[in-house]
Amino acid sequence: MIEFDCQHCGNHFIVDDKFAGHDGWCRVCLQFIIVPSSDGAGPRLEDLSLDEKCFRMERLLRYAAKKAQAYKLLLLRYADENGQLISIRKARALLHENDASNAARDGASSTNGAERATPRSYLRTAVDRLAERVATLAQARDRIEAERNRLERDIEAARMEARAERSAREGIEQMLGEAHQEVQKTKDELDGLLRAPAAEFEALRAELDKALTRLEESRVFADSLRKGLAAAKERTDTANEETARLIEELDSARRERDALMHQLEEARVARREAETAQDGVAQSVATLERVQADLDAERAALAEARSELERSQALVAELQAALSAIAEEGQTALRSGDDPRDRASIEEEDVALPIDGTDEEYAAFTVVPELPADKASADEVSADGDAMAETYLRFLSPE
């Protein structure tokens, strides 16, 4: 590692060895600096020639322009990422629709509605906060873009001025060289013509004065060129300050963008959880409605079956009462002796049908019909009972 102090403000630097001999600028005083080697040796700024200073400054400006282009691409990517504002608006509209549907469906259950309103209000607040932060970031991006464009224009103007000043300096140096050669030639001619006539000597002296005048004019122009270079250096220093400020603003914008992306991801996860819970509630409600419909259908069928059973039981009771009445009439007729049949057949019939027996013996000869399953079966049982009653009456009649 290389440790050195700024040549202008004394700010301490610690850089890697690979940057030895590189050019840069101090972030404290924003002045042009040169990184020395690890042993402290290396070129010093005050020892460089004007051409070397201009060359290094132009190279540093090219590096700054390249970094500005990279920042431009980064800002374009930020602009693409800010398209998430549309998704945030859609999420807000979806939240409003969900709130309306949930209020219409869950109006009777105020407690559950209050419990579900808490995450929705949190999501709505988070979405509003994200929208405000993204709008602020967009304004900062526009401001940084304007500053960057202005800085690029200043850098390009400084580069063009440096090129023009370099061309002018080269022309001046060429003129100075030609003037020096002309002066030297004039001196040589003067040395060779010391013994020339006075008129020729005066002419040569006038030409020498003209050459000296042109040389002085060239020196004045060189001084003005140096002043222009100093002004260009001041503009470059100002551009360096603007670049440092833009870098700080870009870092701040990047941190804000990362925080916004994290909050947006949390809002998306919460929205997916809310949608999953709503789908589960909707499925449960649909299942309960289907079960309720099935129960209603079963209750209706059970009520119909119960009514049919009651009608069948009433028919069976009437039939049993009719059979009991017929049996009593037959027993009364047999005991009174009105039947022309002989006693032996009566006794045989008594044996076959123990009218006077116990309840258990009578139950052994009593047939209990099965309950009909529907109305048609009940009608058939009633018809069979009427037929049995008529047959029994014909059997008991004296004819």
Mind listing the pLDDT tens digit for each residue in 136-152?
Answer: 777 777 777 777 777 77
CA 31 to chain centre: 44
> What is the pLDDT, as a whole number, of residue 258?
85
**In a shared domain, residues 7 and 84:** yes
232, 165 contact by CB (below 8 A): yes
Could you give the angle at the alpha carbon of 290 between the alpha carbons of 287 and 291, nearest 5°? 85
> What is the pLDDT, as a whole number, of residue 81?
67
| CA-based nearest residue to 250, from 145, 122, 391 | 145
**In a shared domain, residues 246 and 316:** no
**In a shared domain, residues 46 and 127:** yes
154, 179 contact by CB (below 8 A): no
> What is the pLDDT, as a whole number, of residue 82?
67
Tokens of 102: 């949930």
> What is the mean pLDDT of the segment spanning 364-393?
50
> What is the pLDDT, as a whole number, of residue 329?
80
H helix runs in the chain, sequence order? 50-81, 84-105, 110-192, 198-336, 343-352, 359-364, 375-396
271, 123 contact by CB (below 8 A): yes
Cβ neighbours of 141 (radius 10 Å): 19
What are residue 25's DSSP bridge partners?
Answer: 32
> What is the mean pLDDT of the segment spanning 90-111?
64
> What is the pLDDT, as a whole number, of residue 189?
66
| Domain region containing 332 | 307-396
The domain boundary residue, chosen from 273, 298, 323: 298
Task: Identify the residue with better confidence: 324 or 133.
Answer: 324
Residue 255 predicted with pLDDT over 80: yes
> What is the pLDDT, as a whole number, of residue 356?
45
57, 233 contact by CB (below 8 A): yes
Task: Identify the residue with better confidence: 80 or 210.
Answer: 210
Tokens of 336: 């009174």
Task: Tell whether 185 is covered by a domain.
Answer: no
Question: What does the alpha-carbon distance between residue 49 and residue 166 come to, in Å, rounded to a whole number?
Answer: 13
> What is the pLDDT, as a whole number, of residue 251?
83
Our CA dihedral for 162, 164, 167, 173, rounded to 10 degrees, sits at -80
**In a shared domain, residues 250 and 337:** no
**In a shared domain, residues 252 and 148:** yes
131, 117 contact by CB (below 8 A): no
**In a shared domain, residues 313 and 294:** no
Burial of 290 (0-12, 13-18, 19+ CB in 10 A): exposed
Task: Identify the residue with better confidence: 180 or 283.
Answer: 283
> What is the pLDDT, as a whole number, of residue 367?
43
Question: What does the alpha-carbon distance between residue 152 and residue 148 come to, in Å, rounded to a whole number?
Answer: 6
Residue 5 predicted with pLDDT over 80: yes
Task: Tell whether 214 is covered by a domain.
Answer: no
Question: What does the alpha-carbon distance between residue 221 and residue 157 come to, in Å, rounded to a whole number?
Answer: 21
Share of the chain above pLDDT 90, in %: 0
Q: How confident is the model at residue 36 (pLDDT cuts 50, 70, 90)?
A: confident
Question: What does the alpha-carbon distance between residue 249 and residue 140 come to, in Å, rounded to a whole number?
Answer: 8
Task: Tell whether 179 is covered by a domain.
Answer: no
**In a shared domain, residues 139 and 267:** yes
**In a shared domain, residues 23 and 119:** yes
Q: How confident is the model at residue 123 (pLDDT cuts 50, 70, 90)?
A: low
The domain boundary residue, chosen from 278, 298, 318: 298
124, 95 contact by CB (below 8 A): yes
Q: How confident is the model at residue 352 (pLDDT cuts 50, 70, 90)?
A: very low
Task: Tell whether 272 is covered by a domain.
Answer: yes
Q: How confident is the model at residue 173 (pLDDT cuts 50, 70, 90)?
A: low
The count of structural domains within the chain is 2
| CA-based nearest residue to 167, from 225, 126, 124 | 225
Task: Tell whether 125 is covered by a domain.
Answer: yes
Task: Tell whether 170 is covered by a domain.
Answer: no
> What is the pLDDT, as a whole number, of residue 153?
78
Flag the least confident range among 80-84, 223-227, 254-258. 80-84
Task: Tell whether 167 is covered by a domain.
Answer: no
DSSP state string for 15-47: E-GGGTT-EEE-TTT--EEE---TTS-S--GGG
Mean pLDDT of the chain: 71
**In a shared domain, residues 257 and 387:** no
Task: Tell whether 323 is covered by a domain.
Answer: yes
Task: Identify the residue with better confidence: 165 or 49.
Answer: 49
**In a shared domain, residues 384 and 253:** no
Torsion sign (Cα): 9, 11, 12, 15: negative
150, 245 contact by CB (below 8 A): no
The domain boundary residue, chosen from 298, 323, 339: 298
R_g of the chain computed on alpha carbons:
59
**In a shared domain, residues 102 and 74:** yes
Q: Which residues contact 193 (CB under 8 A, 6 or more apart)?
A: 200, 201, 204
**In a shared domain, residues 388 and 240:** no
Question: For residue 237, which amino acid is it?
Answer: D
> What is the pLDDT, as a whole number, of residue 182?
67
Question: What does the alpha-carbon distance between residue 366 and residue 52 come to, in Å, rounded to a whole number?
Answer: 135
Question: What does the alpha-carbon distance between residue 326 and residue 392 come to, in Å, rounded to a whole number?
Answer: 8
Question: What does the alpha-carbon distance between residue 155 and residue 35 come to, in Å, rounded to a whole number?
Answer: 23
Task: Identify the residue with better confidence: 54 or 182.
Answer: 54
Torsion sign (Cα): 65, 57, 242, 235: negative
Residue 242 predicted with pLDDT over 70: yes
Tokens of 111: 């407690």
